[in-house]
Structure 1
Amino acid sequence: MTTFFYRIRSDDPRPGDRPQGKKRKEFPWKKPIILALAGELAMPNTVLNRHTWVVVADGEKALFLRNENSATHAQLSTIHQMHQQNPATREQGSDKPGRFSDGVGAHRSAMDDTDWHEISKRRFAKEIADELYVHAHKRKFERLVLVAPPTILGELRQELHKEVLDKIVSEIPKTLTNHSMSDIQAIVEES
């Protein structure tokens, strides 16, 4: 359901203020404003034309996809892949957690371990953002659909350049890097 509102100036006579028998004058500056309330309007399905890229990423792998057919008969194909070896934190760090003194006395506290796995995921999100900026600057795509887990999607949003952010038409917070191309295409088209 769409609700229409009109802009009304303060000098617009109200129904009780105008003389009886006269019709209300229509003002040309009254333009309808469409107000979409949450949940009332369904987003249209994502149109995958030839100038739309779909980036499917997680913390270790990124797939850059493009439609090779028309928008009505979409067929995604891989145009670029990025991989990162990201072993578990226990395999990346070798030190025991650090300790520090709380002040006078023998009381000491342990510090948290550095989560090298998460740091590596953040770095990979920055690499994806840099790669997207290079391609956007070369005008290789006009529209962009991002598919990534919510944490990676948040990291990507922080790292993306304004030129890339302006081209995003849809974001899908799901992990789809290990799905088949047809599954990815179906999920992107229905979102």
Structure 2
Amino acid sequence: MIPPWRLMAKKAARKTWILVSDASRAQLYREEPAGKGFTLLESYNHDESRARVRDLMADAHGRKPNGTSGGNSSPVGGPGGQYLGRPGAAPDTDPKEVEKQKFAQELAEVLEKGLNEHAYETLVLVAPPHFLGLLRGAVSKQVSNHIETSVDKDLSWLDGPRLTERLRELRAG
């Protein structure tokens, strides 16, 4: 049997990464042993998540073909039928949501690479609820198994000292 003090020492020595993010920016930290704070490993920005929808759609959908010759947009199958297309159709997916998903996938790839390189053993995710869900959905099963804690708060806007203080509070309690 392993003495309890050895288990505690092993847990304290675990390499932990903390990802603090929102849909457009992220900071990846390493928690230093013995309460010595946090080291910023990398910052990530995804400006497209902050862009206006019309800027994301530079080649805007404008009009979709209606599936009939001569531009007739009458219903298929007579009255009450469905239109095959309509002028000025909205895109099928919100472009901003697509950009958020892309950023979540980009971060998931960073976390996967770090795990494969044995850069961390445990992972803490801190993000607003919606983006946290996207992140959790984007990470692999292997990365998911290393998530120690998820915190559904947006701390990405905090400056260095205030963020460090909040991370200490989260890790202590």
Report how many residues are paired. Answer: 142
Does residue 1:153 correspond to 2:132, yes or no? yes
> Is 1:185 the equivalent of 2:167?
yes
Q: Tell me the secondary structure at the aligned position of residue 90 of structure 1.
A: helix
**What is the CA RMSD across the aligned residues, in angstroms?**
2.6
Aligned twin of 1:61: 25
Provide TM-score, normalisation by structure 1: 0.64
Of the structure 1 ranges 119-128 and 89-98, higher mean CA displacement relative to structure 2 is found in 89-98
2:114 to 135, 144, 147: 135
More strand by share: 1
Return the structure number with greater helix share: 2
The one-letter code sitting in structure 2 at the alignment partner of 1:161 is: S
Look up the equivalent residue of 1:126 and give its one-letter code.
Q
Cα displacement (A) at 1:159: 1.4
TM-score w.r.t. length of structure 2? 0.70
Q: Contact conserved, 1:143 with 1:168, CA < 8 A, in 2?
A: yes
Matches within 5 A, 1:41-120: 51-70=15-34, 73-86=35-48, 87-94=51-58, 95=60, 97-98=62-63, 100=66, 101=73, 102-103=75-76, 104=78, 109=86, 111-113=89-91, 114-120=93-99
Post-superposition Cα deviations, 1:26-79, rounded to whole Å, max 9, x if no partner, equal xxxxxxxxxxxxxxxxxxxxx875511110111111111112241xx3411211
* Unmatched runs of 5 consecutive residues or more in structure 2: 1-10, 67-72
| 1:48 and 1:189 in contact (8 A); partners too | no
Quick check: 1:125 aligned with 2:104? yes
> Given that residues 52 and 67 in structure 1 are in contact (C-alpha distance below 8 angstroms), is that contact kept between their aligned partners in structure 2?
yes
Partner amino acid, structure 2, of 1:145: V
Question: In 2 relative to 1, CA 48–154 (structure 1 residues): closer, same or farther, beyond 3 Å?
Answer: farther
- If you compute each CA radius of gyration, which structure gives the higher value, 1 or 2? 1
